[in-house]
Amino acid sequence: PCCAIGPPGGADGDDSLYPIAVLIDELRNEDVQLRLNSIKKLSTIALALGVERTRTELLPFLTDTIYDEDEVLLALAEQLGNFTMLVGGPEYVHCLLPPLESLATVEETVVRDKAVESLRKISQEHSPVDLEVHFEPLVKRLASGDWFTSRTSACGLFSVCYPRVSSTVKAEIRQHFRTLCSDDTPMVRRAAASKLGEFAKVLELDYVKSDIISLFTALASDEQDSVRLLAVEACVSIATLLPQEDLETLVMPTLRQAAEDKSWRVRYMVADKFSELQKAVGPEITKNDLVPAFQNLLKDCEAEVRAAAANKVKEFCENLPEDNREQIIMTHILPCVKELVSDTNQHVKSALASVIMGLSTILGKDNTIEHLLPLFLAQLKDECPEVRLNIISNLDCVNEVIGIRQLSQSLLPAIVELAEDAKWRVRLAIIEYMPLLAGQLGVEFFDEKLNTLCMAWLIDHVYAIREAATCNLMKLVEKFGADWAQNTIVPKVLGMANDPNYLHRMTTLFCINALSDVCGRDITTKQMLPVVLKMSEDQVANVRFNVAKSLQKIGPVLEKITLQNQVKPVLDKLATDKDMDVKYFAHEALSGECLPYEYKKLQWSSMLCVLVYARPQLLDSS
Amino acid sequence: MAGVASGNDFQWCFSQVKGAIDEDVAEADIISTVEFNYSGELLATGDKGGRVVIFQHEQESKNRPHLRGEYNVYSTFQSHEPEFDYLKSLEIEEKINKIRWLQQQNAAHFLLSTNDKTIKLWKISERDKRAEGYNLKDEDGRLRDPFRITSLRVPVLMPMDLMVEASPRRIFANAHTYHINSISVNSDHETYLSADDLRINLWHLEITDRSFNIVDIKPANMEELTEVITAAECHPHQCNVFVYSSSKGTIRLCDMRAGALCDRHSKFFEEPEDPSSRSFFSEIISSISDVKFSHSGRYMMTRDYLSVKVWDLNMENRPVETYQVHEYLRSKLCSLYENDCIFDKFECCWNGSDSAIMTGSYNNFFRMFDRNTRRDITLEASRESSKPRATLKPRKVSTGGKRKKDEISVDSLDFNKKILHTAWHPKDNVIAVAATNNLYIFQDKIN
C-alpha cells in the first residue's frame, strides 16, 4: 500500500510513513516484546522501504544485529526465509545470504536450525549460476569456519545445493562433507551423522557406494557413542537407497555391530528405529538377521533398551513376512514377550502392556486364548498401576478378536483396585477409560458392577477427580441415553443436593451443568431445575453463586416461559444477595445471553504420558 | 619440559597480584574457585560473594618484552545471589563453588558457575558497534513531529568502545537436595554432570527442566550413611567415562555405556591402608578433596589431606605415584582437628603436558611436583616478594631438630592462610594461585 516512499517532494509529511517509522525505531526498543513485534512485521518495513533500500540498508543492518535475544533472532531467521520477493525476486535472493550466514553461527541451536531451514528454502530460489557463485561459497565458508557452530550449520546445506551444481563443484561438496565427518569436535561429527542419510539421497548411486558407505562405517564406529547412535538413523536411509544384493555386504555388518554395541544408548537407538530398519532391509534379511537381533534386544541387560524394544513388539510382528509370520512369532518372539511380562523394571512392563494387546489381531482367536490371554490376565494383576492401565486402555483390540467376556472376570477387580488407588492421577486415568469400558462391556455389566464406582468418584476428596467424574457421567449418558440417565444417575446426583457437605452440594450443580444438555429439556426442566432453584437458598455463598452460574448454563436447554417464570425471579433475588460474588454472578446470568454450553475436555491424562527415562527428575520451573 | 624447576631449567617469578591489600578481609571477597579456559586466554575466579571475575590475557607489550603479558579484568558480574529456601528454612549461600569453561563455539565464551544448589550457564560476549539514527527523534533524543516525517531512516551501525557483556543463558535449578561440590563438562560437548554429597546428575546443556540421575548412594536409612561423594569429573576424551571420589578415600570409575544408571561402578581405585599408621584421624585425612584427570586421559590425580596421588586408570589397587604435601603436619593432626583445618578441601591441578602437578598448603605455601625428576618445591604467595619479575625463593619447613637459616618451623605456620584453589595455564608455565582474597599470577622466567 505505501510503496512510493521517499520524500514526495514537498515539505509536507506523509502520515502513512508514521507507523513504519515506529516499526523501524522499535527494532531497537529496549523492550524485547516490541523488538519481536517489529521483527515479525519486517516484511511491512521492507515493503515500505522498497527493494533497493531493503538490500542496501535494511539487510546490512540486520546482518550485524546478532546480539539480540534468542526469540528475536529466531523470528528474524524465519522472516528472512520468506524475503525473496522483498529484495527484488530470485535475481537478488543472494542478498539474503549474509544475515542468514551470521545467524547460522550463533550458539543457540534453535536459531541456527531456523537459519539453516531458511537457507535451504532460499537455495531453491537461486538460479544454478547464483547457486555456484553465491550459495556454494557460503556453504564452503561455513564448512571451514573456525567454530563448530558454523561447521554444524554447513552439514544441513550440502544436500540442497548438490543436485543443482556442476560436477566439479559436486566433487568439492563431497570432499567438504567427508572432512566434516571426521571433524575434531563431536558436535560436528554428530551434525554430519544426522545429515548423512539426507545427503546420501541426493548422491549418485555410485558415490553412495563408494563415499557414503565408508563415511557411514566410520561414523558407526566413532569413539563417541553420541556419534555412533546417530549413524543408526542414517542406516535406514542408506539401506533404502541400495539395491537388495548390496545390503548384505555394505550395510549389514555395521547394523549387526550397532545392535551389539557396548553402549546401551546405541542399542537403544537400534531398538527405537527397529520398524524402520525392518522395512528398509526387507523380508529376507529380517528373517535371518533381525529376528535374532530383536530377540537379543528384548533380553538386553539394560532396561531402557528392553523398554524400547518392547514398544516395537507389535509393529515388528505386524511387518513380518506373512508366509511364516505366525511361526516366527510363536517360536521366537512370544517366549521373550512372556519373560518381559514379569520383568523387574516397571517401565519395561508398561511399555509392553501398551502394545501387547495388538498381537491378538495378528495371532487370531485360538492363539490369543491359549497364549496371550494368560499374559493379559497376569498384567491385569501387575503391582504397577501403569501396566494395568495400559492393558485396560487397549481392550478394544482384544474385544474384536475374542470378545471381552473372556477377560471380564479379571477385569473387574483390576478396575476396582485402580478406581481406589491412593494416587489421584491413577484414579483420574481410569475414569478417563470408563466411557470406553462401558461401551465394551455393555450397559448391564456396567449397571451391575461399575455404576457405584462412578458415583463414588463424585465425592472423592480431590477436586480434579470430582470434576473428571462429572465429565464421565456426561459421556456415559451420551452412550447409554437419557432414559438410562433418568433411572440410574439423575436421582443419585440430585440426592446429593441435600448432603451436609457443601462441596458435595456443589458437585450436584456441576453435574447438572454437564448433564442438562445430554439429558434434554424434559429431564432438565422437570427434575433438575427445581433442585437448582431450591439450592438458591443455600446458606453457603459458594453454592449460591454456583446456582447463578448453573442457571446461566442450563438456560439454553429451557423454554422461554420457564426462564421467565421460574429462573428470572430466583436470579433477581440472588442479585440482591448480601454476598458480592453471588450478586456478581447473578447479574452476569441476568445480563448474559444464554450461551451454548461448552464443556472443556479434560487434558489430565496427558500428564501420565510424561516420558519415562532413567530416573526422571521433572524439575519445578520456578 | 620440566614444570617444577628449581635450578637449571627455569625459575618461577612473580607476575601480578589481584585484590585488595587490606589486612581486613571481607568474607565476600574470599576467592572460592579459579579456572583457566581451554586456550588459557581467559582466567575466571569466583568468590564467596557470588561474583565471577574474568581476566583476559593481554598481548605482550613492546615496552616489556621479557613478560608474557598480563591478565587484566575483562568482565565482572554477579553470578549468584543469596537465597532462602522457605520450604526447608535453609539459607542458600551465594558462594561460587565451581566454575567450568565450555569449549569455545563462536566468538563468545561460555562458562558454568555453581553455588550449593543452582548451576548457571553464562555467556560472555563483546560488542563494538552501536546502531544510530531514529525516525521519531533526532540526535539529541528530542521527539520529532510525527506528522512531519518525510522519509524513513534505517539505523546504521557505528563503531563504539568495546563493551563486554555477561548474560545468563540457562539456569539449571532444583535438582540437588545436597550441596553441589563438582560440575564437569563432558567431552561430547552437549552434556555435563553435577555432583552433590549423595548424587550425581547428568544434564544436557540446552535442557533445564530435566536432568538424569546417574548415581545415587543415598541409603534407604540415612543412619546407615557412611560415605559421601566429594568430587566428580568427566574423562577428557571418552564421553562415556566419569569418576567420583568419596570421603573414604576411594575413587569409582563408571562407564555410562553399561547402563542408564551408574550405581554400579566399572573400576574401583583404592590403596590398602597401612595398619602401622592407623590413627583416630586416618579416616578423616584419607577423604579425597579433589580428583582431576590428566589432559592425556591416561591418569588421574587425587588430593587427600596430606598427599597427592597419581593413579594409572589401568591399575586399581594402588597409585603409581604418591607425593607428600605437608607430611610435617601428621604430628599436628590433633590441633588441626580442633581448629577444623583438617576438613579443608585442597584442590590440585596438572600442568599442560601432565609432567608436573600443583596443590596448596598452609601459610600461603603451595607445592609443585615434577613427575619425571621427582623433584618438588614449596613456594609462597606473598606480598613481600611481589615485585615485578621477582624470583620466588623456595621455602622450607623445618621438621624437628634444629632449625636452619631460611627455614620456618612448623609451629609458626599460619593456618589461616591457606591455598585451596590453584590453576595452571593449559599450555604455558603460567599459574594462578588464590590466597584468601588475593589472586597471584606467577610465570616462568626465561633466562
Q: How confident is the model at residue A408 (pLDDT cuts 50, 70, 90)?
A: confident
Cell of B129: 558497534
Of B106, B129, B209, Cβ closest to residue A149 = B106
Q: How confident is the model at residue A424 (pLDDT cuts 50, 70, 90)?
A: confident
pLDDT at A601 over 80: no
Residues of B in contact with A621 (CB under 8 A): 208-209
Asked if residue A109 lies in contact with residue A124, where contact means CB atoms within 8 angstroms, the answer is no
pLDDT at B6 over 60: no
Lowest mean pLDDT among A76-85, A571-580, B33-42, B333-342: A571-580
Residues of A in contact with B206 (CB under 8 A): 109
What gap in Å lies between CA A144 and CA A188, rounded to an integer?
11
| DSSP tag of A540 | S
Supply φ then ψ for residue A342, to 5 degrees: -110, 35
Q: Which helix (H) or strand (E) segment is B444 a member of? A: strand B438-445
**What confidence tens digit (pLDDT) does each residue in A603-620 have?**
332 322 222 223 334 455
| Nearest chain B Cα distance for residue A158, angstroms | 21
Tell if the CB–CB gap between B260 and A49 is shorter than 8 Å: no
pLDDT of residue A350: 93
Of B148, B152, B173, Cβ closest to residue A24 = B152
Cell of B79: 553470578
| Nearest chain B Cα distance for residue A98, angstroms | 15
pLDDT of residue B4: 59
Residues of B in contact with A147 (CB under 8 A): 104-107
Percent of chain B with pLDDT over 90: 70
HEC-encoded secondary structure of A201-216: HHCCHHHHHHHHHHHH
What gap in Å lies between CA A404 and CA A400, rounded to an integer?
8
Distances (CA, A) of A224 to A213, B186, B402: 19, 11, 58
Q: Which helix (H) or strand (E) segment is B338 a member of? A: helix B333-338
Residues in a beta bridge with B430: B443
Residue A30 sits at the chain B interface (C-beta within 8 Å):
no
CA-closest candidate to residue A459, choices A415, A508, A524: A508
Of A8, A15, A264, Cβ closest to residue B258 = A264
**Please, what is the Cα angle at A383 between A381 and A387, to 5 degrees?**
75
What gap in Å lies between CA B10 and CA B29, rounded to an integer?
33
What gap in Å lies between CA A619 and CA B209, rounded to an integer?
5
Tell if the CB–CB gap between B152 and A48 is shorter than 8 Å: yes
Residues of A in contact with B87 (CB under 8 A): none
> Which residue would you say has higher pLDDT here, A517 or B176?
B176
CA-closest candidate to residue B346, choices B231, B199, B217, B218: B231
Residue A593 sits at the chain B interface (C-beta within 8 Å):
no
Q: How many CB pairs under 8 A join A and B?
A: 160
Q: How confident is the model at residue A351 (pLDDT cuts 50, 70, 90)?
A: very high
pLDDT of residue A606: 30
What gap in Å lies between CA B421 and CA A102, rounded to an integer?
39
Lowest mean pLDDT among A186-200, B266-280, B379-393: B379-393
Residues of B in contact with A18 (CB under 8 A): 146-147, 149
Residues of B in contact with A261 (CB under 8 A): 257
What gap in Å lies between CA B291 and CA B195, rounded to an integer?
13
Question: What b/e readout covers A201-223, taking b as 16+ CB neighbours within 10 angstroms?
Answer: bbbeeebbbebbbebbebbbebe
Q: How confident is the model at residue B446 (pLDDT cuts 50, 70, 90)?
A: low
pLDDT at A81 over 90: yes
Mean pLDDT across the stretch A23-33? 88
Mean pLDDT across the stretch B389-413? 83
Looking at chain A from residue 196 to 225, which residues have their Cβ under 8 Å from any Cβ of chain B?
A: 223-225
pLDDT of residue A52: 94
Mean pLDDT across the stretch B332-358? 95
What gap in Å lies between CA B380 and CA B362, rounded to an integer?
10
Q: How confident is the model at residue B2 (pLDDT cuts 50, 70, 90)?
A: very low
pLDDT of residue A6: 41
pLDDT of residue B399: 78
Residue A403 sits at the chain B interface (C-beta within 8 Å):
no
Q: How confident is the model at residue B181 (pLDDT cuts 50, 70, 90)?
A: very high
Q: Is B307 helix (H, G, I), strand (E, B) or coil?
A: strand
User: Pairing state of beta strands B407-409 and B396-398?
Assistant: parallel
| Nearest chain A Cα distance for residue B117, angstroms | 13
Q: What is the DSSP string of A131-194?
A: IIIIIHHHHHHHHT-SSHHHHHHHHTTHHHHGGGS-HHHHHHHHHHHHHHHT-SSHHHHHHHHH
CA-closest candidate to residue B31, choices B304, B408, B433: B433
What gap in Å lies between CA A617 and CA B124, rounded to an integer?
30
What gap in Å lies between CA A6 and CA A52, rounded to an integer?
12
**What confidence tens digit (pLDDT) does each residue in B287-326 have?**
999 999 999 999 999 999 999 999 999 999 999 999 999 9
pLDDT of residue A614: 33
Q: What is the DSSP string of A309-335?
A: HHHTHHHHHHTS-GGGHHHHIIIIIHH
| CA R_g for chain B | 24
pLDDT of residue A590: 83
pTM for the whole structure? 0.81
Burial of B268 (0-12, 13-18, 19+ CB in 10 A): exposed
Asked if residue A459 lies in contact with residue A495, where contact means CB atoms within 8 angstroms, the answer is no
Asked if residue A540 lies in contact with residue A579, where contact means CB atoms within 8 angstroms, the answer is no
**What confidence tens digit (pLDDT) does each residue in B214-255 have?**
999 999 999 999 999 999 999 999 999 999 999 999 999 999
Looking at chain B from residue 82 to 141, which residues have their Cβ under 8 Å from any Cβ of chain A?
A: 103-108, 110, 123, 125, 127, 129, 131, 134-137
**What confidence tens digit (pLDDT) does each residue in A57-67 have?**
999 999 887 77
HEC-encoded secondary structure of A465-525: HHHHHHHHHHHHHHHHCHHHHHHHCHHHHHHHHHCCCHHHHHHHHHHHHHHHHHHHHHHHH
**What confidence tens digit (pLDDT) does each residue in A470-486 have?**
999 999 998 888 888 88
The length of chain B is 447
- Mean pLDDT over the full length of chain A: 87
CA-closest candidate to residue B286, choices B299, B294, B277: B277
**What confidence tens digit (pLDDT) does each residue in A205-256 have?**
999 999 999 999 999 999 999 999 999 999 999 999 999 999 999 999 999 9
Question: What b/e readout covers A421-448, taking b as 16+ CB neighbours within 10 angstroms?
Answer: beebebbbbbbbbbbbbbbbbebebbee
pLDDT of residue B208: 94
CA-closest candidate to residue B190, choices A230, A378, A364, A130: A230
CA-closest candidate to residue A462, choices A414, A426, A508: A426
pLDDT of residue A489: 87
Give the other-Cβ count within 10 Å of B404's Cβ: 8
Residues of B in contact with A8 (CB under 8 A): 150
pLDDT of residue B143: 79
pLDDT at A599 over 50: no
> Which residue would you say has higher pLDDT here, A123 or B400?
A123
Residues of A in contact with B131 (CB under 8 A): 28, 61, 65
**What confidence tens digit (pLDDT) does each residue in B28-80 have?**
999 999 999 999 999 999 999 999 999 999 876 556 555 567 899 999 999 99
Looking at chain A from residue 105 to 144, which residues have their Cβ under 8 Å from any Cβ of chain B?
A: 105-107, 109
Asked if residue A321 lies in contact with residue A286, where contact means CB atoms within 8 angstroms, the answer is yes
Distances (CA, A) of B124 to A110, A500, A522, B273: 19, 64, 71, 47
Tell if the CB–CB gap between A21 and B127 is shorter than 8 Å: no
Of B108, B149, B213, Cβ closest to residue A107 = B108
Tell if the CB–CB gap between B187 and A186 is shorter than 8 Å: yes
**What confidence tens digit (pLDDT) does each residue in B85-118 have?**
888 888 999 999 999 999 988 889 999 999 999 9
pLDDT of residue A4: 39
pLDDT of residue B52: 97
pLDDT of residue B72: 93
What gap in Å lies between CA A516 and CA A549, rounded to an integer?
13
Tell if the CB–CB gap between A20 and B211 is shorter than 8 Å: no
Residue B143 sits at the chain A interface (C-beta within 8 Å):
no
Q: Nearest-CA residue of chain A relative to B157?
A: A61
- Residue with cell string 447463578: A548
Residues of B in contact with A20 (CB under 8 A): 152
Tell if the CB–CB gap between A67 and B125 is shorter than 8 Å: yes
What gap in Å lies between CA B137 and CA B412, rounded to an integer?
70
Residue B307 sits at the chain A interface (C-beta within 8 Å):
no
Tell if the CB–CB gap between B190 and A187 is shorter than 8 Å: yes
What gap in Å lies between CA A571 and CA B296, rounded to an integer?
82
pLDDT at A596 over 70: no
Looking at chain B from residue 238 to 267, which residues have their Cβ under 8 Å from any Cβ of chain A?
A: 238-240, 256-261
Of B106, B129, B214, Cβ closest to residue A147 = B106
Q: Is A67 helix (H, G, I), strand (E, B) or coil?
A: coil
Asked if residue A410 lies in contact with residue A377, where contact means CB atoms within 8 angstroms, the answer is yes
pLDDT of residue A605: 29
Mean pLDDT across the stretch A574-578? 89
